[in-house]
């Protein structure tokens, strides 16, 4: 009997009506002869509400107690969904992450899964019961409850699917699937029938909120097929797998974007070979995530290094630079706000030279200045003025043949 995993995100179980809809989807899979394990997130904004409560009670609460608090959100969903499935005539049992055998490292708030001992879940499935498991959580080797951080339910679902040797892991969300870009920004964005792990990983890392990057990486490493499916409408969604058929020979298959980017430039009076290591080591110690890096060393230009960060890390980055100015050996630092990052992604770029040149030409024709550039085998990212972001995405989406009018 084929075994599958179904994961429902917070918006898909946000109220009793949506829980009933999720239960119906589960029952339909059971009626097709499947063994079904379900992973759930907390209902709607429950996690944010619990964090607000903690802030009111103790703004400096430790991570252990926060884990104990936040884990209750998924437990509420799991029990309610199990009740809803049972009400439809199918046996269902709810389990916490630790009951399901999810063991993590001993880190509160952002633990990584180390292994899943799924014997208890397998036994339940083989009796014909649906198992409903809390995502986002597990326990370390000493039995301490841990949570996996934002997006942790996606990772839980993939890890449990791997442990169960499931045929597929279905991620149910409030969108139809993975689109060529955000359809809220570009009306002509179209849903992709399939996308490769590498493409999805790039898109997820670039800020698309459909799937958490850790979950995609986990699936890729174990070749676990994923499907992003709509929870509240009919549709097959998007399949994420290793090898895909390039739709209409599209070289670029997706465009991602990110607002609120800041460029910081650090300048030196003389070149200093240790500058890069020192700067980025100092920033890393303070958990400042750096994206694009450009170094300039020429005889006729003041030596400098520029890097991009998210706006939320700006104050911390400036504080690190100013606090360590003498040790870092730079003369002054400058910054530019009001920027955005736009990226084109496609596995076909590996064997098609000239894609980056085409991108730059499209932006030139649209009179959009490029501030920074970063590339990988299947991605080209540019930093541009934020007011030009929508214009850039629209032009690139059209010129690379991604508009819905080009669909099969």
Last residue of one domain, picked from the residues 153, 174, 195 = 174
Q: How far is CA 237 from the centre of its chain?
A: 17
pLDDT, tens digit, 9 for 90 and up, residues 204-225: 888 667 888 899 999 999 999 9
E strand intervals along 311-385: 332-345, 372-376, 379-385
CA distance 369 to 367: 6
The parent domain of residue 74 ranges over 3-174
What's the pLDDT tens digit per position in 144-173?
Answer: 999 998 889 999 999 999 999 999 999 999
Q: Is 344 domain-assigned? A: yes
Whether 115 is in a domain gets the answer yes
- In this structure, the number of other CB atoms found within 10 A of the CB of residue 74 comes to 30
Does residue 331 fall inside a structural domain? yes
pLDDT tens column, 103-131: 999 999 999 999 999 999 999 999 999 99
248 within domain boundaries: no
Residue corresponding to tokens 């063991």 = 103
Q: In whole angstroms, give the CA distance from residue 196 to residue 148.
A: 25
- CATH number for the domain spanning 316: value is 3.30.2130.10
In this structure, is residue 280 part of a structural domain? yes
User: How far is 272 from 276, CA to CA, in rounded Å?
Assistant: 9
Q: How does pLDDT run across 173-185, given as a tens digit for each residue?
A: 988 999 999 988 9
- Judge whether 228 lies within some domain: no
308 found inside a domain: yes
**Among residues 143, 174, 205, which one ends one of the domains?**
174
Same domain, 35 and 166: yes
First to last CA, the chain: 34
CA-based R_g, the chain, Å: 23
**Domain check: are 159 and 286 in the same one?**
no
Residues 262 and 143 grouped into a single domain: no
Number of structural domains in the chain = 2
Q: What stretches of 167-303 show up as alpha helix (H) in DSSP?
A: 197-205, 213-222, 275-285
Same domain, 13 and 156: yes
Q: How confident is the model at residue 407 (pLDDT cuts 50, 70, 90)?
A: very low
Q: Do 30 and 119 belong to one domain?
A: yes
Q: Which of 159, 174, 189 is the last residue of a domain?
A: 174
Q: What is the CATH number of the domain that holds 66?
A: 3.40.1160.10
Residue 211 within a domain = no
Is 387 in the same domain as 263?
A: yes
Q: What is the per-residue pLDDT for 276?
A: 81
* pLDDT(247) > 70: no
């Amino acid at each position: 009997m084929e075994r599958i995993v179904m994961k429902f995100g917070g918006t898909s179980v946000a109220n009793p009506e949506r829980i009933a809809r999720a239960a119906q989807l589960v029952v339909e899979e059971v009626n097709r002869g499947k063994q079904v394990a379900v992973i759930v997130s907390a209902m709607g904004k429950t996690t944010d509400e619990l964090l607000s409560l903690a802030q009111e009670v103790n703004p400096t609460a430790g991570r252990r107690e926060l884990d104990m608090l936040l884990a209750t959100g998924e437990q509420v969903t799991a029990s309610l969904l199990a009740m809803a499935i049972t009400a439809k005539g199918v046996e269902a049992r709810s389990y916490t992450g630790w009951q399901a055998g999810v063991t993590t490292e001993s880190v509160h708030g952002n633990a990584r899964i180390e292994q899943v001992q799924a014997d208890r879940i397998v036994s339940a499935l083989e009796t014909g019961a649906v198992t409903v498991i809390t995502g986002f959580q597990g326990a370390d080797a000493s039995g301490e409850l841990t949570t996996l951080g934002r997006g942790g339910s996606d990772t839980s679902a993939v890890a449990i699917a791997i442990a169960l040797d499931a045929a597929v892991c279905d991620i149910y969300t409030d969108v139809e699937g993975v689109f060529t870009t955000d359809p809220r920004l570009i009306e002509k964005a179209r849903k992709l029938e399939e996308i490769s792990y590498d493409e999805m990983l790039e898109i997820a890392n670039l800020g698309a909120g459909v799937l958490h990057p850790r979950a995609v990486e986990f699936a890729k490493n174990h070749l676990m097929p994923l499907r992003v499916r709509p929870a509240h409408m009919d549709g097959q969604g998007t399949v994420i797998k290793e090898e895909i058929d390039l739709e209409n020979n599209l070289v670029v298959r997706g465009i991602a974007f990110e607002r609120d980017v800041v460029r910081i430039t650090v300048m030196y009076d003389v070149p200093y070979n240790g500058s890069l290591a020192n700067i980025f080591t100092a920033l890393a110690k303070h958990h400042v995530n750096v994206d694009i890096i450009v170094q300039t060393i020429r005889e006729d230009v003041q030596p400098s290094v520029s890097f991009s960060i998210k706006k939320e890390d700006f104050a911390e980055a400036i504080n690190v630079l100013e606090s360590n100015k003498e040790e870092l050996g730079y003369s002054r630092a400058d910054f530019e706000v009001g920027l955005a990052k736009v990226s084109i992604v496609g596995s076909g770029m590996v064997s098609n030279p000239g894609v980056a040149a085409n991108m730059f030409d499209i932006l030139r024709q649209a009179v959009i200045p490029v501030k920074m550039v970063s590339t990988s085998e299947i991605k080209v990212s540019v930093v541009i003025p934020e007011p030009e972001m929508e214009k850039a995405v629209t032009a690139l989406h059209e010129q690379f043949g991604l508009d819905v009018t080009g669909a099969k």
